[in-house]
Structure 1
């Protein structure tokens, strides 16, 4: 396994020599070649990137350098509840039933303990920002307030963006939707809704939600087509509503599993409209692979993934996120975006332009969250990055045990390893 050489002291700066940087995560004005990845010397001063210059030839590689990771779709409120379920869920609907039954345990202390563990894991793996969906029916849930307090505590380590997660019909209700949207706007959040896998009429409730978002100046994030029914058209309806309301660049769709069950020409058409309309897609491989096409005593035949290759070919931005961690929807995971990317590359065959795929967990989700300093590596940006013990994307992909070094504000961090939250 390739080790990571130490940074070199240069006066009042640190030099990371011969870092391999994928072009997809580097400021375009700094790229020196058309290659998918090239080597650079990176200088850090006063917690920021002071210089990025082409490396001299001949020296040994100094590692693979990425910007801080960004997780565009997680569920901190549900984290680490699986141990309290009687058995693994048989599918999406049973997972929903299990999490609803678990809510009786959701005291402020319980939510804070579990969510704090999730933030510690994300931070230790190199995540600098995340968007967490928080279940919200009518009244503001306690988890909204508790996670808001944690967001304040974690400012400077992990930026936490909250998104409400409400049934589309509830959010479209004129007596309920404005109350939710007003609170979300007051707290600087994102307005979110889930759309049942197959719904007969979506245009009217979506119009109500988009109007609500415009009124309160809120971005939108939808859980959509989280199933394998080829009749599901939630994604199509959101794309059409985005165009009707002129909401380009402000709409994100997560899941999109059912798109993979539809005829290729049909999928290509809607993905093209989504790209033209400024919609973004977040794929969630770890949860969807676990939960979709899950049957007793049978190997799954369908992967349950959004068609990422087709989306990218259509010019549709795609991010990859952790989604559920340690809960009935996905009992595993560790808030490690590099794990999610490895799985996605293998199962979705994202081998073409392998180095480009690092954008799925850095620059693309940073655009979803509209982060001021969460994009590509560039001069003047905070020196928040992940350094891997590999000379190329291929070497990193081939060696799961690759060394990892997380830098924050120009300093490598050595976070403690938090234990799995005790079952309570």
Structure 2
């Protein structure tokens, strides 16, 4: 064997096992594995499939020094980034996206879906830069591109052609931002049409705001059912669903479950942008994903933006998103804490229809060693990732912190 990870504690198991890897794939999971190969001792720590990021924006990350944020709302963020995009070049996008991807790798992320903007202002320069990142970092992370119209589609001539070109040039998923168009349902119709033409999955920015009189997710569910796109359609943000009564939330969740429409909640961005219309009793604006899970909706948690006007912070830690979500949404039960971990691992893998994910014999050897014993403890304590592996190759090492007690002889 090429690699044997000893004393690995898997989720839901009390007894450590050994994981054998050959040719980049898991070939054995058993106690006291008798085989020769390079040995890594997990020391009884949790070994989990790598984290999965379903909703991040590599192309516009790390641009705080080019933008201002006075009001801190969605409209300002879109306008500020639109101005900054005029100066983007493929090399500039590559440099910033690489910086962000390296943060993600350092936090144990092994799969990613990045949402990427095209419009007449930026053209395909962002795509060109990110495509090179996809190729150059394949040794540590698989990155999928979702192309979408941040500044409108039907009301922004030339954007449609650019989205088609991006799908022809390497984007695998098509997205939307209907609230930026004068005809939101028209944009949704066109995106489903593109998806059918290119046999692409769909991942939309949707129902961002507080006005619950109209929910576009209802129309998305209708089209997903009509076109047989259940299990291939996801919506992100959906902050309006945090403002509806519980009965309405259950009704919408049931509709999403039946249509096979998944939900991605973006705790950091939604918390930062929501509640700007109030000077007191500010709303959190983060939809309680764990309640949608209980209705049968597949859900994920994700980072969204890093160091830009939409979210002026971020270290690309999916465990941090799980912990933040638990705090915001009053998650306390052991089962719900476990689900917070699942929403940054196996559930987003399902959302992205990854066929080779998970610690099972035959799957790609993409996993992390986390400095704790269980998923819920890892979420609660924000436990560091000590090591990461991609196709059986070690891609990350992090040393544990050491306390220098008086007299220990280790002060220097």
Shorter-chain TM range is 0.7 to 0.9
Task: Give 1:51's aligned residue.
Answer: 28
1:347 aligns with 328
3-state SS of paired residue (1:77): coil
Q: SS at the partner of 1:383? A: coil
- 2:297 equivalent in structure 1: 316
The answer for the alignment partner of 1:20 in structure 2 is 9
Q: 1:156 maps to which residue?
A: 139
Cα distance, 1:372 vs structure 2? 3.0
1:222 and 2:204 correspond: yes
Does residue 359 of the first structure (1) align with residue 356 of the second (2)? no
Alignment of 1:167-186 (within 5 A): 170=153, 177=160, 180-186=163-169
| d(CA) in 1 for partners of 2:395, 2:156 | 47
Question: Quick check: 2:112–2:142 contact (8 Å CA) kept in 1?
Answer: yes
Q: In the superposition, relative to structure 1, how do residues 402 and 219 fare at CA in structure 2: closer, same or farther (>3 Å)?
A: closer
* Larger relative contact order (CA 8 Å, sep ≥ 6): 1
Q: 1:34 maps to what in 2?
A: none
What do the CA deviations read for 1:349-380 (whole angstroms, capped 9, x no partner)? Answer: 3333122332211112112222232x221112
Instruction: Using the TM superposition, give the Cα deviation of residue 331 of structure 1 relative to its aligned residue in structure 2, in angstroms.
Output: 0.6
Q: How much does 1:318 deviate?
A: 0.2
TM (norm. structure 1) is: 0.82
Is the contact made by 1:225 and 1:233 (CA closer than 8 Å) also made in structure 2? Answer: yes
Give the Å deviation of 1:61: 6.7
The CA deviation at 1:99 is 0.9
Give 1:144's aligned residue.
127
Once the two structures are superposed, residues 48-91 of structure 1 have per-residue CA deviations (whole angstroms, 9 ceiling, x without a partner) of 323223689xxx97011110111000000110011322345421
Residue number in structure 2 paired with 1:41: 17
How far residue 243 of structure 1 moved from its aligned partner, in angstroms, is 1.4
| Cα deviation digits, residues 149-181 of structure 1 (max 9, x gap) | 221112232111111111596269998636623
Q: How does 1:272-287 map to 2 (within 5 A)?
A: 272-287=254-269
What secondary structure is seen at the aligned counterpart in 2 of 1:377? coil
Q: How far is the alpha carbon of 1:384 from its aligned partner? A: 1.9
TM-score w.r.t. length of structure 2:
0.85
1:177-233 superposed Cα distances (whole Å, 9 cap, x missing partner) = 366235414424211110218x88644443333223212222111100111222241
Residue 137 to residue 232, structure 1, CA distance change in 2 (3 Å): farther
Q: Is 1:166 matched with 2:166?
A: no
Q: 1:301 aligns with which of 264, 279, 282?
A: 282
Is contact 2:50-2:366 (8 Å) kept? yes
SS in 2 for 1:282: strand
CA distance in 2 between partners of 1:337 and 1:252 (Å):
19
- 2:318 aligned partner: 337
Q: Tell me the residue number matched to 1:98.
A: 80
1:131 and 1:15 map into 2 onto residues whose CA distance is 28
Q: Distance in 2 between matches of 1:160 and 1:329?
A: 22
Q: Write the distance in 2 (CA, Å) between the matches of 1:396 and 1:158.
A: 22
| 3-state SS of 2:358 partner | coil
Q: Any idea what SS the aligned residue of 2:44 has?
A: coil
RMSD (Å), alpha carbons: 2.9
Aligned mates of 1:242, 1:54 — CA distance in 2: 45
Instruction: Structure 1: state its 5+ residue gaps.
Output: 1-10, 24-36, 418-424
Partners of 1:302 and 1:270 lie apart in 2 by 21
The separation in 1 between residues aligned to 2:70 and 2:200, in whole angstroms, is: 36
In structure 2, relative to structure 1, the CA distance for the partners of 1:206 and 1:401 (3 Å cut) is: closer
Task: Decide whether the 8 Å contact of 2:341 with 2:379 is kept in 1.
Answer: no
Partner of 1:31: none
